Structure 1
Amino acid sequence: MPILLFRRWRALLSAGLLAALPLEALAQTAPSTSPSTTPSAAGDVAPERATGRGSRSVDTATRHMVAAANPLAAEAGREILRAGGSTVDAAIAVQLVLNLVEPQSSGVGGGAFLVHYDAATKAVTSLDGRETAPAAATPERFLRADGKPMPFYDAVVGGRSVGVPGTVMLLEHAHRTHGKLPWPRLFERAIALAENGFTVSPRLNGQLAMEKHLPANPAARAYFYQPDGTPWPVGHVLKNPEFAATLRAIAEKGSAAFYEGPIAADLVKAVTGHPTNPGDMTEADLKAYRVKEREPVCGSYRVYTLCGMGPPSSGGVAVLQMLAVLEGRDMAATRGDPALAAHWLSEAGRLAFADRGLYLADPDFVSVPVKGLLDRGYLASRAALVGERSMGKAQAGEPPFREGRAWGFAEAEEHGTSHISVVDGAGNAVAMTTTIEDGFGSRLMVRGFLLNNELTDFAFTPTEDGKPVANRVEPGKRPRSSMAPTLVFRDGVLVASVGSPGGSNIINYVGKTLVALLDWNLDPQAAVDAPNFGSRNGPTELEQGTEAEGWIAALEARGHTVKAMELTSGTQAIVVTGPGLSGGADTRREGVAVGD
Structure 2
Amino acid sequence: MKLRSFLFAATLLCGPLVAPLQAQQAADAIPPEMTTDLSAPVTDPGLRASQLLKSAGRPAKAGQWMISAAHPMAVQAGADVLREGGSAADAMVAAQAMLGLVEPQSSGLGGGGFLVFYDAELGEVFTLDGRETAPLDATPTLFQVDGAPMGFFDAVVGGLSVGVPGTPALMEATHERWGRKPWARLFTPAIRAAQDGFPVSARLAAMVGVDRDRLAVHPVTAAYFLPLGEPVQAGDLLQNPAYATSLEALAESGSAAFYDGQVATAIVSAVQGAAQPGMLSEWDMRNYTVKERDPACSVFLSFEVCGMGPPSSGAVAVGQILGLTEAFYAELDQPLAEVLRTPGKRDDFLTLWGNVGRMAFADRGRYLADSDYVPVPVRGLLDPAYLAQRAALASDMSAMAEVVPGQPQFDHALNWADHEGRALPSTTHISIVDSYGNALSLTSSVENAFGSRVMVGGFLLNNQLTDFSFRSHRDGVPIANRVEPGKRPRSSMSPTIVLQDGKPVLVVGSPGGSRIIGYVAEYILRVLGEGQGVQQAAAAPHAVNRFGTYDFEVGPQGDTIAQALAERGFETRVTGMNSGLHAVMVTPEGLLGAADPRREGIAYGE
TM-score by length of 1: 0.91
Partner of 1:119: 120
Alignment of 1:327-346 (within 5 A): 327-328=326-327, 329=329, 330-332=335-337, 333-335=339-341, 336=343, 337-346=345-354
Give the Cα–Cα distance (whole angstroms) in 1 for the partners of residues 346 and 442 of structure 2: 29
Alignment map for 1:366-405 (pairs within 5 Å): 366-387=374-395, 388-405=397-414
Say if 2:292 is the partner of 1:282.
Answer: no
Paired with 2:594 and 2:154, the residues of 1 have a C-alpha distance of 37
**Which letter maps to 1:530?**
A
CA distance in 2, matches of 1:188, 1:115: 25
Instruction: Give the C-alpha shift of residue 577 in structure 1.
Output: 1.9
Distance (whole Å) between structure 1 residues aligned to residue 135 and residue 417 of structure 2: 23
1:401 CA displacement? 1.8
Matched, 1:235 2:244: no
Match of 2:310 in 1: 311
Match of 2:368 among 360, 371, 374: 360
For residue 128 of structure 1, give the secondary structure of its aligned residue in structure 2: strand
Distance 1:567 1:331 in 2: 25
Asked whether the 8 Å contact 2:30–2:206 carries over to 1, the reply is no
Are residues 393 and 507 of structure 1, via their aligned partners in 2, closer, same or farther at CA, if it must alter by over 3 Å?
A: farther
Uncovered stretches (5+) of structure 2, i.e. residues with no partner: 4-20, 37-54, 330-334
* Distance in 2 separating the partners of 1:126 and 1:496: 16
Unpaired stretches in structure 1, ≥5 consecutive residues? 1-21, 25-40
Aligned equivalents of 1:200 and 1:46: distance in 2?
17
* CA shift digits 1:556-595 (9 cap, x unpaired): 2322111112211111111112321111111111110011
Question: d(CA) in 2 for partners of 1:460 and 1:46?
Answer: 22
1:253-278 per-position Cα deviation (integer Å, ceiling 9, x unaligned): 00000001111111001100113x10
In the TM superposition, what is the alpha-carbon distance from 1:362 to its structure 2 partner? 0.3
Match of 1:64 in 2: 65
User: Is 2:264 the partner of 1:258?
Assistant: no
Offset of residue 58 of structure 1: 1.5
RMSD: 1.5
Give the CA deviation at 1:404: 3.2
* Structure 1 counterpart of 2:130: 129
Alignment partner, residue 49 of structure 1: 29
Report if aligned partners of 2:541, 2:555 keep a CA contact under 8 Å in 1. Answer: no
The alignment partner of 1:327 has SS state of helix
Equivalences for 1:132-531 in 2 at 5 Å?
132-145=133-146, 147-211=147-211, 212-227=213-228, 229-275=229-275, 277-328=276-327, 329=329, 330-332=335-337, 333-335=339-341, 336=343, 337-387=345-395, 388-415=397-424, 416-531=426-541
Mapping 1:545-560, distance limit 5 Å: 545-560=555-570
Are 2:430 and 2:443, in contact at CA under 8 Å, matched by a contact in 1?
A: yes
Q: What is aligned with 1:100?
A: 101
Counterpart CA distance in 2 for 1:586 and 1:549 is 22
Query: Would you say the 8 A contact 2:311–2:488 is kept in 1?
Result: yes
Percent identity between matched residues is 48
Q: Which amino acid aligns with 2:388?
A: A
**Amino acid aligned to 1:431:** S
Distance, in Å, in 1 between the alignment partners of 2:298 and 2:516 is 18
**Change over 3 Å in CA distance of 1:109–1:48 after alignment to 2:** farther
Equivalent residues of 1:413, 1:456 under 8 A apart: no
Q: Distance in 1 between matches of 2:137 and 2:2?
A: 48
CA contact (8 A) 2:28 2:576 kept: no
CA drift of 1:47 comes to 5.0
How many angstroms apart in 2 are the aligned matches of 1:161 and 1:48? Answer: 23
Superposed CA offset, 1:504-539 (max 9, x none):
110000011111111221111111111111111311
Aligned equivalent of 1:17: none
Q: Is residue 184–residue 251 contact of structure 1 (8 Å, CA) maintained in 2?
A: yes
Instruction: After TM superposition, give the deviation of residue 45 of structure 1 in Å.
Output: 3.1
Aligned length: 556
TM-aligned CA deviation for residue 46 of structure 1: 6.0
Q: Provide Cα deviations, 1:159-182, integer angstroms capped at 9, x if missing partner.
A: 000000001001101111000001
Using structure 2 for the length normalisation, give the TM-score: 0.90
SS in 1 for 2:499: strand
- Post-superposition CA distance 1:219-271 (Å, at most 9, x none): 111112231x2222211111100000000001000000000111111100110
Greater CA drift, 116-125 or 473-482? 116-125
Counterpart code for 1:594? Y
- Residues in 1 aligned to 2:535 and 2:115: alpha-carbon distance in whole angstroms: 22
Q: In the alignment, does 2:569 pair up with 1:568?
A: no
Give the deviation of 1:43 after TM superposition.
Answer: 2.3
Residue pair 2:141, 2:483 contacting (<8 A) in 1 also: yes
Shift of 1:413: 3.0
SS of aligned partner of 1:160: helix
Match of 1:447, as an amino acid?
A: G
CA contact (8 A) 2:118 2:438 kept: yes
Give the deviation of 1:215 after TM superposition. Answer: 1.8
Can you list the C-alpha shifts for 1:379-437, whole angstroms capped at 9, x where unaligned?
Answer: 11111111121114410011112533221121223121100000113321000000000
Report if the CA contact (8 A) 1:67-1:422 is conserved: yes
Give 3-state SS (helix, strand or coil) of 2:442's partner: strand
Aligned AA (1:279): G
Contact 1:297–1:316, Cα closer than 8 Å, also in 2: yes
Whichever residue aligns with residue 529 of structure 1, its letter is A
3-state SS of paired residue (2:304)? strand
Q: Which string of whole-angstrom CA distances, capped at 9 and with x for unpartnered residues, describes residues 87-134 of structure 1?
A: 011111110000011100000100000000011211100000000000
Residue 31 of structure 1 corresponds to which residue in structure 2? none
Distance 1:490 1:118 in 2: 15
CA distance in 2 between counterparts of 1:173 and 1:298 reads 22
Whole-angstrom distance in 2 between the partners of 1:405 and 1:491: 36
CA distance in 2, matches of 1:49, 1:101: 19
- Could you tell me whether the CA contact under 8 Å between 2:194 and 2:241 is conserved in 1? yes
Report the more deviating stretch, 55-64 or 573-582: 55-64
Residue identity in the other structure for 2:403:
A
